Amino acid sequence: MKVFIAGFQHETNTFAPSKADWAAFNAGSSFPPYRRGAAIVEAYAGRNIPVGGFIDAAREKGWSLVPSAWAGATPSAHVTEDAFERISAAITEDLATALADGGIDAVYLDLHGAAVTEHLEDPEGELIARIRMLVGPDVPIVASLDLHGNITGRMLAEADALATYRTYPHVDMADTGRLAARLLERRIAHGSREPLHARRLGFLLPLNVQSTMIEPAASVYRLLGELDAKHDAVLSFATGFPAADIAECGPVVWGYGDDAGAAVTTLYERIDQPRSQWRLDVLEPREAVARAMALAADASKPVVIADTQDNPGAGADSNTTGMLHALLTEGAGKRYPGQVALGLMFDPAAAAAAHEAGVGAQIRIALGTSVPTWGGRFSDAPVQGLFTVRALSDGQVHGKGPMSRGGVVSLGPSACLEIDGVRIAVASGKSQMLDREFFRYLGIEPEAMKVLVNKSSVHFRADFAPIASHILVAKAPGPMAADPADLPWTRLPATMALQP
């Protein structure tokens, strides 16, 4: 069987300050750089990303792969029209060539599900529709999706089958590519599309409560697996990305199979009631630091604070200073000198100044950026002061954590800067703090710290929960709202509740 494969990955925060242009898809920072043709198979086989899992499954099954283009960029504001149309054109041109050169038997797409472009609310649905127009109604199209996808009616209608991740942090990305291969096999065995059942939830879910490492999501996804087995179905629950101002933003449950309707109803009811189970619990910056310092006094492991509203994995730029100001104001570094660290701080100018000065030097700079958030507000001012350069790096980091194991992240010229006993991992590329190696490459040993501040919402838990004595979530000013009700929505239906 010949399977055409391609990918387009972007999680769009329509309230964020920076857009994803063509250069962003070629940067190769927290996402692999744009690739086309056979390079996809060579680069991604065996990797913990969806296309890697599908490639591995296809090889095991003896399928022939026809690789097209794969593009992914760090979450941000809208994808530019130019970037999307370049990616779409590459995929559809390759598909037209493949159809003319002997045809194909199926299509697999590695998508996110929460992309928004300058000109399209539902670019994934549009991309699937363009492919459907070329291949016709009988060629199966399957896709893997991120757990945070905002799944539209068009996506479900145009594709034969869609499957989402079942973990957050996303440690099952490759497994989801394999699940898409399984759905393709089911579709072929069925001879036509399997019955689809889908239900949309009536409220938005804050990112921090979506983690499958904690309740209630942990129980919900356990139930999903049990219902799969009981009903011979393949279910998905996309929790949604609650920062995309589009009409179909929000959680969706769906499933494939002759008996999937009963399974979808059971899962929907478990998620929907009581809605209070999904309520958010966050701390103000200074409150979070004060509590962390008190807990650290008797802890043998670090206390980890999530700087959730500056999460570059959700559209922020990883450059706000609210948590750094709180650490300095509360005297965290003076109480635990050299045992308090924050990362990653995106500030190419600061990193360049550190490289010019050298290790051991002191530099007087303004670190971080004040960025617009929403409602006319801005994040905290840069931290101005005298910083000591503790370590330097070229920023090539080999991931070792559950999510990034085997991958290489290019963070550009980087530096460990210290002020008042607080160490800051400063990078020239954007990535959320989801791997302990993102501290270690700058000489910061996470296990030896008393307090760690991670610019991340949930993904950090995969690699940091095993070494943490406590995990706190802080709400410092930043572009990614911890509470969706804080955002100035314009496109959501009036029936969609902004809070559980």
- Strand ranges, E, within 267-351: 303-307, 340-346
Q: In this model, does residue 476 exceed pLDDT 90?
A: yes
In the structure, what pLDDT confidence band is assigned to residue 406 with cuts at 50, 70 and 90?
confident
Residue 354 gets which letter from DSSP?
A: H
The band of 32, judged by pLDDT with boundaries at 50, 70 and 90, is confident
Amino acid identity, position 404: S
| Tens-digit pLDDT profile for residues 72-117 | 999 999 999 999 999 999 999 999 999 999 999 999 999 999 999 9
Which amino acid, residue 353?
A
If phi over 0 gives left and psi between -120 and 50 gives alpha, with beta otherwise, what is residue 318? left
Identity of residue 204: L
In this prediction, residues 329-349 reach a mean pLDDT of 98
Band (355; pLDDT cuts 50, 70, 90)? very high
Instruction: Give the Cα separation of 453 and 474 in Å (integer).
Output: 9
The pLDDT value recorded for residue 227 is 98
CA dist., res. 383 & res. 368, Å (int) = 7
Q: What is the mean pLDDT of the chain?
A: 96
| Dist CA 319 CA 331 (whole Å) | 21
Q: Is the pLDDT of residue 407 over 90?
A: no
Q: Does an H or E element contain 474, and which? A: strand 470-474
Per-residue pLDDT for 148 more than 80?
yes
DSSP alpha helix (H) spans, 137-284? 153-158, 173-190, 217-231, 260-272
Give CA–CA dist 176/158, Å, rounded: 20
For residue 493, the model assigns a pLDDT of 95
Residues 6+ apart with CB under 8 A from 188: 106, 140
Does an H or E element contain 398, and which? Answer: strand 396-398
